[in-house]
């Protein structure tokens, strides 16, 4: 059977939480909470852009101090997030918007985006357009907090990511992963199969190819220089310590400079 090729985070949506089984989302939410409380005087209205299946949002909701919204380009990821929120005791508004299509204006005290989602933006132009759209969604002095993965992270993780596999319900995946230092593109190719559980036969299969662009810290800072944000902080990993060119993942905190 020749697998059909399908778009990023469509068929993978139902396998995503299995794929991310080892990720400590609660600590990630605590880290975002710490950054918001450190750099914003009264954060209430908060949006996660590229929220995926909503795991960080649900952990933040447990703190019971934010009004939460989640958006993501993938309608399938939003669908899974909605099911998880319905099964919880929390209220989180969820909408299928990409970074550059966000329709909100002056609506949020903080917007955040985690787990390398910004690395799906491959060019300077895409990054700047998305950053400016997010800026419009922020209230005056609002924060945009995002992380990105650097080439060092790709080089460190690629062997571990390559040839991984997993399953959930009737679906299973095999992942191949490779990184090309010359263009800094990290590819994760998923072969996804749907099984008839009674016969164990494959009834459908798809290939989903994810391409992420790794940015060095200096490349990202020079892009941020072209926007109208004020750079508040650049943190290494999951601590409030300064990132440098050796950081594998960097978390950036930007302040929206508009006055009204």
Binding site for ligand SAM (CB under 6 A): 9, 20, 50-52, 55-56, 72-74, 77, 98-99, 114-117, 120
Strand order in the sheet with 201-213: 4-6, 201-213, 185-196, 171-180, 164-168
Cα three-residue angle 218-223-227, rounded to 5 degrees: 140
119 DSSP 8-state letter:
G
Q: Which is nearer to ligand SAM, 112 or 229 (CB)?
A: 112
How far is the CA of 233 from the CAs of 132, 152, 173, 215, 217, in angstroms? 18, 20, 38, 17, 12
The nearest distance, CB 114 to ligand SAM, in angstroms, is: 5
Minimal CB distance to ligand SAM: which residue?
A: 52
Q: Which is nearer to ligand SAM, 17 or 141 (CB)?
A: 17
The nearest distance, CB 162 to ligand SAM, in angstroms, is: 17
Q: Which is nearer to ligand SAM, 16 or 229 (CB)?
A: 16
* Longest alpha-carbon distance in the chain: 63
The nearest distance, CB 130 to ligand SAM, in angstroms, is: 7
Q: Which is nearer to ligand SAM, 187 or 195 (CB)?
A: 187
Query: How far is the C-alpha of 204 from the C-alpha of 214, rounded, in Å?
Result: 32
The nearest distance, CB 125 to ligand SAM, in angstroms, is: 13
Q: Which is nearer to ligand SAM, 55 or 153 (CB)?
A: 55
Strand order in the sheet with 229-236: 92-95, 67-71, 45-49, 108-113, 138-149, 249-256, 229-236
Name the token pair of 118: 């910004």
The nearest distance, CB 1 to ligand SAM, in angstroms, is: 26
């Amino acid at each position: 059977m020749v697998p059909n090729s399908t778009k990023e985070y469509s068929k993978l949506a139902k396998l995503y939480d299995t794929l991310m089984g080892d990720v400590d989302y609660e600590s990630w939410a605590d880290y975002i909470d710490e950054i918001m409380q450190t750099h914003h005087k009264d954060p209430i209205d908060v949006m996660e852009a590229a929220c995926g299946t909503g795991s960080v949002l649900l952990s933040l909701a447990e703190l019971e101090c934010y009004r939460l919204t989640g958006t993501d380009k993938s309608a399938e990821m939003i669908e899974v997030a909605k099911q998880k929120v319905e099964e919880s005791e929390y209220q989180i508004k969820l909408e299928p918007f990409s970074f550059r299509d966000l329709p909100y204006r002056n609506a949020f005290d903080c917007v955040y985006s985690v787990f390398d989602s910004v690395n799906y933006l491959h060019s300077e132009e895409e990054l700047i357009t998305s950053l400016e759209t997010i800026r419009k969604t922020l209230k005056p002095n609002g924060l945009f907090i995002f992380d990105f993965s650097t080439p060092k992270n790709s080089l460190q993780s690629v062997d571990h990511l390559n040839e991984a596999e997993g399953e959930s319900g009737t679906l299973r995946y095999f992942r191949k992963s490779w990184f090309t230092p010359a263009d800094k593109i990290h590819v994760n190719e998923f072969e996804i199969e749907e099984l008839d559980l009674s016969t164990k036969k494959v009834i459908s299969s798809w290939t989903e190819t994810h391409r992420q662009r790794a940015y060095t810290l200096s490349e990202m800072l020079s892009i941020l220089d072209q926007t109208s944000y004020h750079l508040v902080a650049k943190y290494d990993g999951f601590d409030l310590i300064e990132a440098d060119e050796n950081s594998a993942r960097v978390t950036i905190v930007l302040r929206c400079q508009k006055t009204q």
